[in-house]
Amino acid sequence: MTTSPSAQRRVAPWLLLCGGFLSVPIVFASASALSQPHWDWDTSFFGRYLAIPLLVLALCSCLAGVFFTSLSLGGRFALSAAVLIAFAGIVVGSVILCVVFFGAPFH
């Protein structure tokens, strides 16, 4: 089964958006799991050099996905504001989950 190019244009932006959202908890869990102690990301190469650039790339992926949709320009800006709020919520949720699973830095 082949998909038409117009169907791919409708799906691709949402895949970029979801991929950016899903990569945030993966980056947090990987950085925490590879560091010793888990809350100190500076003890691993991944946490020190790769985690923050990957989070920025995830945010850019989310925002790029929004601007490839077929919404009007105003709708794209409104959706990008909603994506920024959702991204911040996912980052906060990932931090909370990492503290719960890997331990708090303040004992």
> Which pLDDT tens digit goes with each residue over 48-100?
899 899 999 999 999 998 888 888 899 999 999 999 999 999 999 998 888 88
- Could you tell me which residue, 68 or 22, shows the higher pLDDT? 22
Say if 56 falls within a structural domain: yes
Count of domains in the chain? 1
Q: Is 0.85 surpassed by the pTM of this model?
A: no
> Which pLDDT tens digit goes with each residue over 31-42?
888 888 777 777
Say if 73 falls within a structural domain: yes
Say if 107 falls within a structural domain: no
Output the CA–CA distances (angstroms, integers) from residue 34 to 27, 106, 107, in the order listed: 11, 19, 20
Domain span at residue 60?
5-102
Say if 84 falls within a structural domain: yes
Map the chain to HEC letters: CCCCHHHHHHHHHHHHHHHHHHHHHHHHHHHHHHCCCCCCHHHCHHHHHHHHHHHHHHHHHHHHHHHCCCCCHHHHHHHHHHHHHHHHHHHHHHHHHHHHHHCCCCC
Number of CB atoms found within 10 A of residue 65's CB:
22
Say if 77 falls within a structural domain: yes
For residues 3 and 30, the answer to whether their CB atoms sit within 8 Å is: no
Say if 95 falls within a structural domain: yes
